[in-house]
A and B are shown apart, each in its own frame.
Chain A
């Protein structure tokens, strides 16, 4: 599959850019209009985390989709999607630091030490930062072969992301199980592609 360069860079990519911005607009609007229920700050923090994880999984879906559809252009969307995942993860973290802890660093430090779901979340966001800052063309060139190796970190990061959600949930693990299932499929496709094709 292939679409014209014009359609790709003038229509598909900008549309996707706007589409991925919609959740942020929704939460901004929701806070403004007080339309997020009785506990809006928690709704915002949770919602941003959800979208960070969803878009992270979308990033990981690009390669399998490219193979499935035989559509090489898709790869050129991956950096934007990956940076969007980082954008939501950072907003999610900021929401926690601000609305949950009000920048009480001692309390935050206790949280990181005492609560495993926070620990893995923090590790994930630190690792993801290393990918975000090396996503520029210059860095790709400069790092050469090492770049590819470094960006393999996306696999443990996505696992930590799902684990972060799983351990946060009190009892009903339906949602994290769905994310874990999707992640398993995305990983499975890669293994299958590597060893059985």
Chain B
């Protein structure tokens, strides 16, 4: 079976979410006091070991909401469509083609890609360009780990990603809503940032198809559409790639697409966001609250121009 590491954590299938959250809280405290080891309580391996310093302790969005409210146009343009239609996607076996400016190009089976990495939990804020947000307990590994193994050459300035292109598996691709396949890109320093994750799961379980199984990008300081799903190709390139939404409407969507409350979108003010599950809106933070980790990547850049 794919992604064994995630399956071992499937205790969450029988764990209520509030329990899951409370236990995490307890373990955080316990870890802080150094009593976890002597408390003698049964501790879930993964979450006990890996409370990442990058994780937020904000209230998690419900699993049901995360898995039923999705933008994944390959399965329809409605928010509920992907959850209904994504069952046609075959995620096993899954290959990822790696090409371009690197020493180790080739077609990699997903299991081989995952073998040497250790999957950990990262609880990130997720901000959609449409003005809603979630808090998602991802499972994944740093993209940097994968990039290092591929040994990019000095010409590799950008990393380009592509979703699978197969209208039989992804019926939404029969309509030319976007220019398929879906494509995204990161600058090399963005890709190597420790926050940038290759996601393989949510809530300790394997990713569901509608959330981008079996392998997706997670870039928490950028709008959600940058976090490309169901990745089938990764290319190292010298030139800046053109991402799908930029291609569709370059006045509204840029390459960087960093969360920025001061850059208003023609369709949505970005000053506030609706956290799914909450009534009142909350203020949107610059870089989605990850400025401490990533603001330095953009020093000297006019972020209003490079939106």
Q: CB-nearest residue of chain B relative to A118?
A: B267
**Number of contacting residues on A, CB 8 A?**
18
A-contacting residues, B130-164, CB 8 Å: 130, 132
Which residues of chain B have C-beta atoms less than 8 A from A172's C-beta? 73, 77, 177
A64 CA to B283 CA in the complex, in Å?
49
B266 close to A115 (CB less than 8 A): yes
Dominant secondary structure of chain B at its interface with chain A: loop
B59 adjacent to chain A (CB < 8 Å): no
Does A114 interact with chain B (Cβ within 8 Å)?
A: yes
Question: B269 is contacted by which of A38, A107, A168 (Cβ under 8 Å)?
Answer: A107
Contact A41 B269 (CB under 8 A): no
Known pairs A170-B267, A172-B77 / 16 extra A-B pairs, C-beta < 8 Å: A37-B79, A38-B64, A38-B69, A38-B276, A39-B69, A39-B132, A39-B276, A102-B281, A111-B269, A114-B264, A114-B266, A114-B269, A115-B266, A171-B77, A171-B178, A171-B248
A117 CB–B CB distance under 8 Å: yes
A132-147 contacts to B (CB < 8 Å): none
0 or 1 for each of A157-185: is its CB under 8 Å from B? (1 = yes):
00000000000101110100000000000
B280 interfacial by beta-carbon distance below 8 Å:
yes
Contacting residues, chain A, for B64 (C-beta < 8 A): 38
Most chain-A Cβ atoms within 10 A of its Cβ — which of B65, B178, B281? B281
Q: Are the CB atoms of A115 and B79 closer together than 8 Å?
A: no
Whole-angstrom distance between the Cβ of B136 and the nearest chain A Cβ: 13
Chain A residues, Cβ within 8 Å of B69: 37-39
Cβ–Cβ contact B267 & A117, under 8 A = yes
**When the two chains form their complex, are residues A115 and B177 in contact, meaning their CB atoms are under 8 A apart?**
no
Residues of B within 8 A of A102 (CB): 280-281
Find residues 52-77 in chain B having any chain A CB closer than 8 Å to their own CB: 62, 64-65, 68-69, 73, 77
B165 at the interface (CB under 8 A from A): no
A70 to chain B minimum Cβ distance, whole angstroms, is: 40
Whole-angstrom distance between the Cβ of B146 and the nearest chain A Cβ: 31
The answer on a CB contact under 8 Å between B274 and A115 is no
Main secondary structure on A side of the interface with B: helix
Give 1 or 0 for each of B247-269: 1 = CB within 8 Å of chain A CB.
01100000000000000101101
Q: Cβ of B111 < 8 Å from any Cβ of A?
A: no
- How does the 8 Å CB contact mask read for B73-93 relative to A, with 1 for contact and 0 for none? 100010110000000000000
Binary flags per residue of A103-147, CB closer than 8 Å to B gives 1, else 0: 000010011001111000000000000000000000000000000
Asked if A168 and B132 make an inter-chain contact with CB atoms under 8 angstroms apart, the answer reads no
Contact present for A37 and B281 (CB under 8 Å): no
26 contacts between A and B (CB under 8 A): A37-B68, A37-B69, A37-B79, A38-B62, A38-B79, A38-B276, A39-B79, A39-B132, A39-B276, A41-B274, A41-B279, A42-B132, A110-B264, A110-B269, A114-B264, A115-B266, A115-B269, A117-B267, A170-B267, A171-B73, A171-B77, A171-B177, A171-B178, A171-B249, A172-B73, A174-B77
CB distance from B62 to the nearest CB of A (A): 8
B24 interface residue (CB < 8 Å to A): no
User: Chain A residues near B269 (CB, 8 Å)?
Assistant: 107, 110-111, 114-115
